[in-house]
Chains A and B, each alone.
Chain A
């Protein structure tokens, strides 16, 4: 039974290939230049067909695929269902629910425009906003956490501005900044800044005083205590702030691109929606999902690296 389990995804893929080949297409879906879905399924069949055999070369990869076998199998069944519902029987309005072939054709044929121009622009915006917002957030958080005076002046600002959705500022930002790009960077930075500041400050305030006392009896001065006790001890909190900030920045990025910035993947989706090219909208959504998934995964990896001391799984 267990040995069969790892072959389930392959079974689902072969079923999809067979249905795609032998069921007649509905006439309402416009044809595509190449059978992209077939290509994709063959590629997937190769991956999932070889994975169980690849144990000798990459045990980790093969093990991972085996563990998630049921998930992948169900996912391919869903893909199959979607293909049948759209391309084969056209049970949903074709214009809003394009078939997988059409979406894949957009991804392949508009590859350069989507991935280089649009995604590139979004990435630049997000990176600038995220890095500056996180950096300023860390600094304000540290200041508020360690200095009563900074807390006195900054806390009211955080309390008033923090809970406001950054996108509420769009009308002002659009006129206050020389370019919408700069305005969008500011908004994204703002949405990262707030959670990072809050979590950094409360992380530092939550550090047991005993740690500072120990450090001071070991000869650590004020700044050494800040950088070698307060901040490392607050790291778990700081990461929560940065995660929350990252998610907020994704929302802000999309909104900013949809209403102001004339570039980027959010703008592309909005534009294609207005032209009723829903295959392109779905392609854009897939790109967003994959990119944000990768970014969050990257953050998690960084956290695991920085917080090894917390996990309790490291072996020596």
Chain B
């Protein structure tokens, strides 16, 4: 059995503010991500995507309902569930290599697994930058380093919160391919928050579309195309406009279409 199934069971998350007001960030999310699956979360800003990832990571507690990794209840953060933020949050006082080694050292397995560090630096294309401090990296390089830092623990699940949001379009497409390649090699379940519909279709097995206030799952779309996918494939574009319509960004397409 491939490990890495996430079961989200009727999860409700309410934030209480200082002034006694409440924000219902998630109201009754029920969903299962199968082991080895790539699932994207997409939805308007503030609808609770990050909150859901943080719950899976164990950084927040649900007010009701529960989350499970391979049947085991999630109660706190763990190296089994890696998280990559939109901001790479590399530790500025450590070199890139030391940043990537952090998880191994924290789990006291560094001695046996030292060679992994080189391997993962290589995997994300930073093998010549091990001795460099984070402030010397470009945005894309920093994000790749933070990906390597999360991957080196070989988590069963990798949670990605808009990891490519801050990157330019070309770096972004390169990174998408990189993520796919890593997933193929490492067989990790991946759950990714994104605002980019193309990115979601290009990467995912399924796309979860969320609605705001109170946050719920609106629709789950299967992406049945084989990989590698072509971004201009007609089915790709049809699915894209489907999703944009659900999100109310479809616009109007008059017949006949514009002449280019």
The stretch among B35-43, B91-99, B117-125, B228-236 that forms the contact with chain A is B91-99
Residues of B close to A214: CB separation below 8 A:
83, 85, 89, 91
B59 at the interface (CB under 8 A from A): yes
| Per-position binary interface string of chain B over residues 128-156, scored 1 when its CB falls under 8 Å from any chain A CB and 0 otherwise | 00011111100000000000011001000
Interface centre among B93, B105, B132 (most CB of A within 10 A): B93
In this complex, the member of A211, A214, A308, A312 whose beta carbon has the largest number of chain B beta carbons within 10 angstroms is A214
- Within B82-110, which residues are at the interface with A (CB < 8 Å)? 82-83, 85, 87, 89, 91-94, 102-103, 105-107
Select B79's contact among A211, A218, A232, A314, beta carbons within 8 Å: A218
> In the complex, are the beta carbons of B79 and A217 less than 8 A apart?
yes
Q: Is B81 an interface residue (CB 8 A)?
A: yes
Asked whether B89 lies within 8 Å of A210 as measured between CB atoms, the reply is: yes
Q: In the complex where A218-B153, A235-B93, A309-B94 touch, is A228 in contact with B106 (Cβ < 8 A)?
A: yes
Contact partners of B132 in chain A: CB under 8 A = 316
A-B contacts counted at CB < 8 A amount to 76
- Determine if A44 is an interface residue (Cβ-Cβ < 8 Å): no
Interface size on A, as a range, is: 20 to 34
A218 in contact with B106 given A235-B93, A309-B94, A314-B133 (CB within 8 Å): yes
Q: Contact: B153 with A211, CB < 8 Å?
A: no
Instruction: Select B106's contact among A220, A308, A316, beta carbons within 8 Å.
Output: A220
User: A213 contacts B77, CB within 8 Å?
Assistant: yes
In the complex the two chains form, is B89's CB within 8 Å of A211's CB? Answer: yes
Of all chain B residues, the one with the shortest Cβ separation from A224 is: B106
B78 beta carbon closer than 8 Å to chain A? yes
User: A218-B106, A228-B106 are known contacts. Are A312 and B135 too (CB-CB below 8 A)?
Assistant: yes
**How many residues on B have C-beta within 8 angstroms of the other chain's C-beta atoms?**
31
Tell me which residues across on chain B come within 8 A of A219, comparing CB atoms. 78-79, 103, 106-107, 153
In the assembled complex, the Cα of A212 lies from the Cα of B134 at a distance in Å of 17
Is A217's CB under 8 angstroms from B82's CB?
Answer: yes
- Hey, which chain B residues are within 8 Å of A216, CB to CB? 58-59, 76-77
The interface residues of chain B lying within 8 Å CB-to-CB of A308 are: 133
Closest Cβ–Cβ distance, residue A207 to chain B (whole Å): 10
CB pair A218 B59 closer than 8 Å? no
Rounded to whole Å, the gap between the CB of B242 and the closest CB of chain A is 34
Q: Which of B79, B83, B135, B150 contacts A309 (CB 8 A)?
A: B135
In the complex, A219 Cα to B59 Cα: how many Å? Answer: 12
Chain A residues with CB under 8 Å of B201's CB are none
B86 smallest CB distance to A (angstroms): 10
A309 to B131, CA, bound (A): 11
With an 8 A cutoff between CB atoms, is B164 at the interface?
Answer: no
Cβ contacts under 8 Å, A309 to chain B: 92-94, 133-135
Is B210 an interface residue, CB under 8 A from the partner? no
Identity of the chain B residue whose Cβ is nearest the Cβ of A235 in the assembled complex:
B93
Chain A interface mostly: helix
Does any Cβ of A come within 8 Å of B52's Cβ?
Answer: no
A215: interface (CB < 8 Å): yes
**Closest CB of chain B to A235's CB: distance in Å?**
7
- Tell me, yes or no, whether A310 is within 8 Å of chain B by CB: yes
B59 and A211 within 8 A (CB): no
B129 to chain A, nearest CB (A): 8
Task: Count chain B CB atoms within 10 A of each CB in A208, A216, A224, A235 and give the residue with the most.
Answer: A216
A143 within 8 A of B: no
CA distance A53 to B91 in the complex (A): 46
Give chain A interface residues in 168-223, CB to chain B under 8 Å. 208, 210-211, 213-221
Q: How far is the CA of A202 from the CA of B76 in the complex (A)?
A: 27
Interface contact B82-A218, CB-CB below 8 Å: yes
Contacts of B78 in A (CB 8 A): 217, 219
Is B102 a contact partner of A215 (Cβ separation < 8 A)?
Answer: yes
Does B188 interact with chain A (Cβ within 8 Å)? no
Within the complex, the shortest CB–CB distance from A239 to chain B, in Å, comes to 13
B243 at the interface (CB under 8 A from A): no
Query: Least Cβ distance of A231 to chain B in Å?
Result: 10
Among residues of A, the one whose C-beta sits closest to the C-beta of B155 is A217
Chain B residues within an 8 Å CB radius of A224? 106
Q: Is the CB of A218 within 8 A of B135?
A: no
Closest to B149 in A: A218
A69 interface residue per 8 A CB criterion: no
Say yes or no: B87 contacts A229, CB within 8 Å. no
A233 adjacent to chain B (CB < 8 Å) = yes
A208 to B85 alpha-carbon distance, docked (Å): 14
A210 with B87: CB separation less than 8 A:
yes
Residue of B nearest to A306 (CB): B93
Across the A-B interface, the 8 shortest Cβ-Cβ residue pairs: A219-B79, A220-B106, A216-B77, A218-B103, A217-B83, A219-B107, A232-B93, A309-B93
- Give 14 pairs: A residue, B residue, CB < 8 Å, sorted on A: A213-B57, A213-B83, A214-B91, A217-B59, A217-B82, A217-B83, A217-B150, A218-B150, A219-B107, A219-B153, A221-B106, A228-B105, A229-B91, A309-B94
* Other A-B pairs, 15, CB within 8 Å; known A216-B76, A219-B106, A220-B102: A210-B85, A213-B59, A217-B58, A217-B78, A217-B150, A219-B103, A228-B106, A229-B91, A233-B91, A233-B92, A309-B93, A309-B134, A310-B92, A314-B133, A316-B132
